[in-house]
Amino acid sequence: MILRHLKATDREAFEKLLDEWDDSPGFNMLYGLIEVVAFSSYLKVLEAMRDDLSCLYAFVGDEIVGKANVRHHLNKHLENLGGHIGYGVLNHQRKKGYATEILKQALDYCRELGLDRVLITCDENNIGSCKVIERNGGVLENLFDPKDGSSLKKRYWINL
């Protein structure tokens, strides 16, 4: 598995991803844009955002199995709810170790950006994500209550 930016030659794999993605909150960012612009324009939007956000896709061969969003800087919202990295794996590709590898490679990417510590959050009841974060060195700092009726968020830090 390799985690990387999309290229112009990835159009078919990306369209397949869109057909298979389960609309997980936070991971469909900008996918609606692809319905109104050409794939090449979508790539330009992703490129223009790279000073602040990198959308990286997990490829096994020529198939996309998941993705990671790497946020280069934290704002108040991300300090509590989003963190530096968000990741997801297609439903039918789960339990194969891809999430652990996606996070590992996203952490390598953060090192290349010059970050020395990253925050990752997940829902308190998301046992799979907790395990992925902990396997990658995550140390639980605390629980955050979003006060909107949703579940508590676990806030993990990983030193790079």
Q: Can you give the CATH number for the domain in which 81 is found?
A: 3.40.630.30
Report the range of poorest mean pLDDT among 18-22, 58-62, 83-87, 117-121.
18-22
Q: In the 8-state DSSP scheme, what is residue 152? A: P
Please, what is the Cα angle at 33 between 12 and 102, to 5 degrees? 60
- Which residues constitute the domain of residue 12? 2-159
Instruction: Extract the tokens encoding 82.
Output: 């989003």
Domain tally, the chain: 1
> How many Cβ atoms are within 10 Å of 72's Cβ, its own excluded?
15
CA–CA distances in Å: residue 123 to residues 25, 131, 151? 12, 12, 6
Residues facing 40 on adjacent strands: none
* 134 confidence band (pLDDT: 50, 70, 90): very high
Q: Give the mean pLDDT of 38-53.
A: 92
